[in-house]
Chains A and B, each alone.
Chain A
């Protein structure tokens, strides 16, 4: 049951082959059996999940089901969920029970989907390995000594381990696409402004975007459908028609112009990764696409640009965590300043503190023009490169990640090394474009991801391109051996 696609689950429910309660219980059992080995979940929501599943079963019986009714899923613990602990992977919010639902959470409740729990993440979404979570690291189910990627490592690991069919996640510099790549699943970061950020704990407000993760583009399309909406409560939400993301999945790719950015394939790229990606591109040619060389000359400045802008925005966003109204407050503060300084010292981990300090620096008097304003100018140059490229091509393809999953601790000594993990994903956030990662190969049994980038609001086309690749290949059907562990195998009831 845990290998079924969303459409297959939906069909099974409507035919009465199983109930939502049964399939929800199945996933909850697996979580209880297996999650202690990978730590994908921070909070498990058995009681509310089963109650919601009962409601869903009634709706299905009444013939009022829609595509996600009764379908179990997981939320990254960055989305405020009313009455539920929402930690953002941080000690600062360790005991924070959200008083309201994020719009994404409300949308999925409305769609009748069943939330199994909240997944682990790098603290405040800052990281590429889920090693900075206050609640411990998450293990990559493909190799438990390696990272699942980050910051949405919990959601990615949960889907890969078949502990949830689909999951929500967020992406500011690659945090959906990179973990999807390392965990061998499919993930999509929508166009900036596509999905409401109301109730989504903010990291970098001009780049953050929520999106779906699943075993396939088809599943991601269904989840994106429910997540996307114009929201007047999010002042950066863009009122753009939400199309039927599943409608054009099977459109033939004859004549599709795929841009291949030369800067993303230069000598720094691991030749094994390059080979896998080139194989995928050859597959696209077989499907009727044309490969076109393009240049993104300013992309080499994407990482430095991001590490000025994102920390700057984060330093502003995280200034709300002051111990006054919610979140961690230190014991026995001697005065207000002491309360602020010690609460934040204790509540935030090292990476978060580092980024806040960097952000504070680049925004401070005397440095604002040289760093922050400069970076905003380079951001425009990076975006202009994409605009120029999209005059010649319909989508852009590249590796998602310079490596497969690395071992824990391999990149924690030098922050810059970790930052370079996002070298192919970051420019997409700077330009606000939609991007996805889908599995396209393996190296020594570890997944490799292909990234597809589209024009603003062209999610349908990249989903279509991903889906057609997945019809012609089977990389996305591969699961880690870990996922084959069942309650039966461990002596429990199925």
Chain B
């Protein structure tokens, strides 16, 4: 499966990662190479096989609806690039 540059541009947008024009060609080729590798899967018959998400088919464990976390805001925000009064600052979202 080979991809066009426009496919790469769409993926980059979905992934929220800029790919510069100069990188775009190599990215397209290298991703294409990996997709050629994974195309080998198409030849395998998987009729009736249940997909496996977890190696032991475990399911989500639930717990009682009790408050167990404490408020550790200052510590947890200590790596934030920009904050104000306990809020994370980002470029304006709503005009």
Contact = CB atoms under 8 A, between A and B. Distances in A.
Interface of A: 95-97, 99-100, 192-193, 206-207, 232, 235-236, 238, 298, 301, 303-305, 307-308, 315, 319, 322-327, 329, 333-342, 344-345, 348, 353-354, 356-358, 360-362, 364, 370-371, 373-381, 383, 414-416, 419, 430-433, 456
A193 B58 contact: yes
A419 B37 contact: yes
A324 B38 contact: no
B30 A374 contact: no
B53 interface: yes
B91 A380 contact: no
Given A235-B60, A335-B92, A432-B55, 5 more contacts: A100-B75, A192-B55, A322-B16, A338-B91, A358-B34
B18 to A, nearest CB: 4
B42 interface: yes
Contacts of B80: 324-326
Contact of A232 (B34, B51, B63, B77): B63
Interface in B39-95: 39-42, 44, 46, 49-56, 58, 60-61, 63, 72, 75-82, 88, 90-93
Nearest to B49: A377
Interface string B7-44: 11001101111111000000100110111111111101
B27 to A, nearest CB: 7
Given A301-B41, A334-B91, A380-B51, A360 B78 contact: no
A122 to B, nearest CB: 16
B76 A344 contact: no
A307 B37 contact: yes
Contacts, number: 169
B17 A414 contact: no
A341 B44 contact: no
Contacts of A371: 38, 41
A256 to B, nearest CB: 24
A339 B14 contact: no
A196 to B, nearest CB: 13
Given A307-B38, A358-B34, A345 B60 contact: no
Contacts of A381: 44, 46, 49
Main secondary structure of the interface of A (DSSP, over half): helix
Nearest to B39: A304
A36 to B, nearest CB: 28
A380 B31 CA distance: 26
A430 B34 CA distance: 18
Contacts of A193: 56, 58
A322 B11 CA distance: 16
B77 to A, nearest CB: 7
A357 B17 contact: yes
Contacts of A378: 41, 44, 46, 49
Interface residues of B, number: 53
Contacts of B61: 232, 235
A365 to B, nearest CB: 10
Given A99-B76, A371-B38, A376 B81 contact: no
A97 to B, nearest CB: 6
Contacts of B37: 303-304, 307, 416, 419
B7 to A, nearest CB: 8
A94 B14 CA distance: 25
A323 B17 CA distance: 12
A427 to B, nearest CB: 11
B90 A324 contact: yes
A99 B70 CA distance: 14
Given A232-B63, A304-B40, A342-B18, A99 B78 contact: yes
A326 B83 CA distance: 11
Given A341-B17, A371-B41, A383 B34 contact: no
Nearest to A95: B79
Contact of A354 (B7, B31, B54): B31
B16 A340 contact: yes
Contacts of A326: 79-81
Contacts of A333: 91
B41 A374 contact: yes
